[in-house]
Amino acid sequence: MYYCKACERETLVYTRSKCFSANCSISEFYKKLNENNFFKSHRSYIVNLDKISEIIPWFNNTFIVKFPNLDVEIPVSRNNISEFKHLMGI
C-alpha cells in the first residue's frame, strides 16, 4: 500500500497497480495501521512512509510527497508538519 484517500464515506487504498475500497472512514482505517510505517499527512490522506520517494517543499511551510512510479502528489498539512519532519528526520 502506497497511500489512502478519503472519498465520501469510504477509504480508497492505492497500491502500485490497483485501487481498493474500504467501507470505513479514513480515521477508522488509520487506527488499524501500524503507526511506525503510516502517517496521516492530511485529513484526507494516509501515506506509507517507507514508500515515499520525494519530499517537495510547498507553500506556507508545507510539503508535497511523491511515490515512485505513481503520478500523484499528496499534501502534508500545516497541522502535521512538525510530526512529519520528526518522523522523516528533516
Q: What is the pLDDT of residues 37-64, one digit of tens each?
A: 999 999 999 999 999 999 999 888 889 9
- Which residues make Cβ contacts (< 8 Å) with residue 71, sequence separation at least 6? none
Say what the pLDDT of residue 34 is: 81
Cα(53)–Cα(73) distance, integer angstroms: 11
Model's pTM, two decimal places?
A: 0.90
* Confidence band for 5, pLDDT divided at 50, 70 and 90: very high
The dihedrals phi and psi of 86, each to the nearest 5 degrees, come to -60, -50
- Residue ranges per domain, the chain? 3-88
Give the CATH fold of the 3-88 domain: OB fold (Dihydrolipoamide Acetyltransferase, E2P) (2.40.50)
Say what the pLDDT of residue 60 is: 84
Say if residues 86 and 39 touch (Cβ distance below 8 Å): no
Say what the pLDDT of residue 69 is: 86
The SS3 assignment for 22 reads strand
